A and B are shown apart, each in its own frame.
Chain A
């Protein structure tokens, strides 16, 4: 629950909702806490909300570390459950 995962915004919907792609998983998340998000941006997602925008580099680093530490799969399972 504590971890935040970077994800790419692939679709913008009404009411501050966006579809993001985590690896192969797609999920609706809320953009209520951030501003000026465009398709293609990376956002740091925590419990279904984007906390802030991150750069591609930062997203790659974080995802890489999470994959290596073995926590990415657990988090993705939780997200897709």
Chain B
């Protein structure tokens, strides 16, 4: 792994850290939101926060699709499996997420529902082909990286005239979520989160390109730097953000040029727009109702749209009251501010989605960072 070393290089990290320390204005504070769970993990795993001056802070945003899916949609998926007796296919991350009354897909499976974990939409199609007398529903979640594979699956189902396959579509869009964090009225209830700039997601941007963030940087006057996952990528991106803030610039800059281009993957984008259209609104866990923030399946593919093929009852679903996921997803609170964190809520027995998914802020805190925040005085004393 000879190429890794230069991105992990201690001296280089010190040089970037020194540049950040030199350029961060001591009279102001900098709050940068990372949107992607991969960045949250890199920051914790490599102790990037410890290399920052005291006035540079990371705010962990809603960058995990499992974490932002509202309980009601998960309840719908459980209903599909239990009431309609379909073979429900889903990505592994969704299995343990608790729905209303802590009911999860894995519990439904234990009780006899046919829930199957798949790695790819191609597996869900194969299951449909192998079970022509059963209805197979793919429970689709994810941001712009998982959406093109779902589009391919729908096109394949149409081409093969698969009569027993449909998709329960829950795909959501990154740029509209970022916009919403900055302008929604709910900030009044949950508190105002100070954000001076964004670390843009890496792989999402490899699909949609850096261009979609430009409107948003101009409209909301916040700098965006598309950042790679390596710790040095994150640090370099922070330095680029600090420079923009200091200069009063609000631009989209791309630190991750080795993978992300301005236009992204055009073939994938074309497929997505052929199959999906914007939903007028969609509920996000933690963000509430966000206009034009999700996709639904176009009418041409109605035969393959589980929402049109099955009548799903609208239920009043309830999040666990004391769970702080909504505030944590907005960056208003830290995982350690939650009473349940590390007590009743752990990765082994999660209460909220931020603890279920390994991409969630709570899971990252649990794995790498919980002692740092809880016992700063002891750590400092030991040094």
**A14 interfacial by beta-carbon distance below 8 Å:** no
- Dominant SS at the A interface? mixed
Asked whether B38 lies within 8 Å of A47 as measured between CB atoms, the reply is no
**B119 interfacial by beta-carbon distance below 8 Å:** yes
| A65 contact from B4, B146, B206, Cβ within 8 A | B4
Tally of chain A residues near chain B (CB < 8 A): 36
Cβ proximity bits B143-172 to A, threshold 8 Å, 1 near / 0 not? 001101100100000000000000000000
Asked whether A79 lies within 8 Å of B265 as measured between CB atoms, the reply is no
> Within residues 39 to 61 of chain A, which ones have a CB less than 8 A from any CB in chain B?
44, 46-49, 51-52, 54-55, 57-58, 60-61
**A34 interfacial by beta-carbon distance below 8 Å:** yes
| B258 contact from A55, A63, A64, A67, Cβ within 8 A | A55
| CB-CB under 8 A for A48 and B122, given A2-B359, A60-B1, A60-B4 | yes
Q: How close is A31's CB to chain B, nearest CB, in angstroms?
A: 10
Tally of chain B residues near chain A (CB < 8 A): 44
For A3, list chain B residues within 8 Å (CB): 38
* Chain B residue at smallest Cβ distance from A62: B229
**Can you name 23 A-B pairs with beta carbons within 8 Å?**
A1-B91, A1-B142, A2-B37, A2-B145, A2-B359, A30-B120, A32-B152, A46-B145, A51-B148, A51-B203, A60-B1, A60-B2, A61-B230, A64-B1, A64-B8, A65-B4, A65-B230, A68-B8, A69-B41, A71-B41, A74-B358, A78-B119, A81-B119
Q: Which residues of A contact B (CB under 8 A)?
A: 1-4, 28-30, 32-35, 44, 46-49, 51-52, 54-55, 57-58, 60-65, 67-69, 71, 74, 78-79, 81
